Amino acid sequence: MVRTARFTEDDFIEATMALVAEGGPAAATMQAIARQVGAPTGSIYHRFESRAAVLGAAWNAAYASFVGALAPLLHSGRPREAALAILPWSRENARRARFLLLNEPVTLFEDTPPPAPLRQALERLEDEFDAAFRACVGACGEGDLREEALARAKFLIFDAPIAILRPHLMKGGTLPPFAERMIAELHAGMPLA
Please list every residue from 61 through 80 that binds a copy of itself, using CB under 8 A: none
Phi-psi region of 115 (alpha: psi -120 to 50; beta: other; left: phi over 0): beta
- Extract the runs of DSSP E, i.e. beta strands, from the chain: none
CA distance 59 to 21: 12
Is 103 a binding residue for DNA by CB under 7 A? The answer is no
Q: Mapping DSSP to helix (H, G, I), strand (E, B) and coil, where does residue 138 land? A: coil
Is 93 a binding residue for DNA by CB under 7 A? The answer is no
Give the angle subtended at the CA of 109 by the CAs of 104 and 110, to the nearest 5°.
95
Please list every residue from 112 through 171 that binds DNA, using CB under 7 A: 112
From a copy of itself, DNA, none, interface partner of 193 (C-beta below 5 to 8 A by class): none
From a copy of itself, DNA, none, interface partner of 163 (C-beta below 5 to 8 A by class): a copy of itself
Q: Which of 141, 145, 157 is nearest to 78 (CA)?
A: 157
Is 6 a binding residue for DNA by CB under 7 A? The answer is yes
Q: Which stretch binds DNA (CB under 7 A): 44-52, 66-74, 92-100, 132-140?
A: 44-52
From DNA, a copy of itself, none, interface partner of 67 (C-beta below 5 to 8 A by class): none
